[in-house]
Structure 1
Amino acid sequence: MADFLTAQQISRRTSAAVDAAVGAGRDLGLTVTDAAVLHDLFSVVVHLAPSPVVVRVPTVLPPLDSQGQRQQAELDVTQWLADQGTPVIPPSPLVPREPVQRGGFSMTFWQYVEEERGKEPDYVANSEMVADLHAAMRAYPGRLSFLSAAEPRFVTDSLALLERRPDLIDPSDLDRARREWAVLEPLVRSRSAFEEAFPGIDLQPIHGDSPSVNIFSAVGRKLYADFELVSLGPVEWDLAALGPACEAAYDRGARRNGMRPLNEDVLRFVNAVGMVRAVAVLSLVPQLPVLLDYMKPAIDQWRATPFAGGMA
């Protein structure tokens, strides 16, 4: 479609994000002579070399007005975890711990950590580590929103937008997604509705964005990273869509930490919400056309699952 960004437009967006990161870093007193892009997908991640600082600049995101608040929550949680001795990539100590706005971007600054190149991730082992993270996060004293990681407003708005985009999703698939969301949304938006549906399931601070996938392989150690969707919720949210082997590994870690195992009913719920979110992500394809190929396997998998995870 005509509104899909071209490779040239995406390149210009990346360059603008790098320029914003470099300019902001220099304004904060950092020496930057050899800025290097480490990652570029939903965010442009820039090492402000030679300073030991990495800037994450979100570039593909829904039009929400709470980005700064979410970024501040991420900075606060990760700093608190670092202070407790939890292995995380912490905010940079060389700049104030707050989001920085420049050039139309809102960015956060992190300590540079050298990556161990060529090491394949072990998602099963990482899932057992997630239980250790949950044990560490339980005592976090700050306030977090209930299941904001599910981004319910984004899902609702995206499903409405996709009504006008048959080039992105078949109308029959969209119809199913909207009917599923009508079943699931009340439990996402309301803590009391969730607790009524799942009595006895405790809520706690959670990572929010598949922490098993977001464990960074630093040289000689593993570090929890990317807490952009940190929320209050059931621990099952952090295991959504990872499958039985990862769930079993998490349960081993939970027992070791004296915590409850995963609940099958809650897993069905979070998996169903995750599938509808995958459909909603199609609304971001014009900003990042490669997403269409990335999301196809998830959409195919979703078609084969029970309606709303069997909750209806």
Structure 2
Amino acid sequence: MADFLTPRHIARRTSAAVDAAVGAGRGLGLAVTDATVLHDLFSVVVHLAPSPVVARIPTVLPPDVDLDSLARRQQAELDVTRWLAEQGTPVIPPSPLVAAEPVRRDGFSMTFWQFVEEDRDRKPDYAANAESVADLHAALRAYPGRLSFLSAAEPRFVTESLARLGERPDLIGPADLERARREWRVLEPLVRSRAAFEERFPGIELQPVHGDSPPANIFPGVERDLYADFELVTLGPVEWDLAALGPALESAYNRGARRNGMRPLDEAVLGFVNAVGMLRAVACLALAPQLPPLVEYLTPAVDQWRTMPFAGGVAR
């Protein structure tokens, strides 16, 4: 479609984000002479060399996310990671060289993190990562700050994206979209209301969780692995962090849970979070005009979703 961003447009967006990060870093007193882009997908991640500081600048955002709401989410991430680092949990912490708060510049809101050298030769061990997520959950249980219930599900984004996709048959067919909307009518009340969730899943305790597939967001540092990317940190069931990862990684997590004296994953809750996760993947198709590779990236998830029970078996 004509409204998909071209590589030139994306390059300009990346360049603008880098320029904003360099300007903000220098404004905070950092020496920046050789900014290097480390990652560029939903966010531009740039090393503000020679300072040991990495800036993360979200660039692909839903239309309903403004700078104020983004900054609130970023502040929650900074607060949680700073607290975890103080407890000795292995995380990538906020940079100690600047205040741990979001910074706005040139229409972007960004955060600053300690630079950690990556071991690029080491392949991720997802089973070991999933087992270690139980250690992270054990640490997060004591977090004293307030977090919103299942904000990581982004219910407003899902609702509005499913509406917008009605005008994009190039991204999803009408039969798939109708199923997604019917499933969301079942799942949305449980996502938006803690009371509704607790009534449907009695006895399932809620706690701070990472929010965004932590087995895939463990950074292979040269010295040690570090939990990273807490952008969607939220209050929810521990199952949320294992959504859509499959039986092998669920079993690995359960080994870690037993080691920490925690309960194993609940099958019914897994059905719920897997279904919500799949609908978030469908909803993300609405972001494809901003990030065209999403179509190819999300196709396997959508194919898998078609084979799954309706609404994860939650409907009764």
Answer yes or no: same fold by TM over 0.5: yes
Tell me the equivalent position of 1:175.
Answer: 178
> SS at the partner of 2:88?
coil
> SS at the partner of 2:32?
coil
Partners of 1:280 and 1:219 in 2: CA distance: 36
Please state if 1:61 is matched with 2:66.
no
> SS at the partner of 2:34?
coil
Please state if 1:121 is matched with 2:119.
no
Tell me the equivalent position of 1:78.
Answer: 81
* Matched residue type, 1:13: R
Partners of 2:141 and 2:132 in 1: CA distance: 15
> SS at the partner of 1:8?
helix
> SS at the partner of 1:36?
strand
Partners of 2:94 and 2:249 in 1: CA distance: 29
Q: How does 1:32-71 map to 2 (within 5 A)?
A: 32-63=32-63, 64-65=65-66, 66-71=69-74
Tell me the equivalent position of 2:251.
Answer: 248
Partners of 2:94 and 2:49 in 1: CA distance: 16
Q: Pick from 211, 216, 219: which aligns with 1:216?
A: 219
Deviation of 1:306 (Å): 1.0
Partners of 2:259 and 2:160 in 1: CA distance: 41
Please state if 1:163 is matched with 2:176.
no
Please state if 1:151 is matched with 2:154.
yes
Partners of 2:176 and 2:235 in 1: CA distance: 30
Tell me the equivalent position of 2:232.
Answer: 229
The number of residue pairs the alignment matches comes to 312
> SS at the partner of 1:149?
helix
* Matched residue type, 1:59: T
Q: How does 1:199-214 map to 2 (within 5 A)?
A: 199-214=202-217
Provide Cα deviations, 1:253-277, integer angstroms capped at 9, x if missing partner: 0111111110000000000000111
Partners of 1:241 and 1:152 in 2: CA distance: 18
* Matched residue type, 1:49: A
Question: How big is the alpha-carbon RMSD for the aligned residues of Structure 1 and Structure 2?
Answer: 0.5
TM-score by length of 2: 0.98
Deviation of 1:118 (Å): 2.1
TM-score by length of 1: 0.99
* Matched residue type, 1:126: N
> SS at the partner of 1:212?
helix
> SS at the partner of 1:48?
strand
Shift >2 Å, 4+ stretches: none
Q: Which runs of 5+ in 2 are unaligned?
A: none
Partners of 1:94 and 1:311 in 2: CA distance: 47
Deviation of 1:75 (Å): 0.1
Q: Which runs of 5+ in 1 are unaligned?
A: none
* Matched residue type, 2:223: G
Deviation of 1:57 (Å): 0.4
Q: Pick from 179, 190, 195: which aligns with 2:198?
A: 195
Partners of 2:123 and 2:155 in 1: CA distance: 33
Partners of 1:209 and 1:294 in 2: CA distance: 16
Tell me the equivalent position of 2:271.
Answer: 268
Partners of 1:305 and 1:273 in 2: CA distance: 12
Partners of 2:239 and 2:314 in 1: CA distance: 16
Provide Cα deviations, 1:88-141, integer angstroms capped at 9, x if missing partner: 000000001100011111000000000001211111100000000000000000
Tell me the equivalent position of 1:19.
Answer: 19
Partners of 1:307 and 1:245 in 2: CA distance: 23
Partners of 2:24 and 2:278 in 1: CA distance: 37
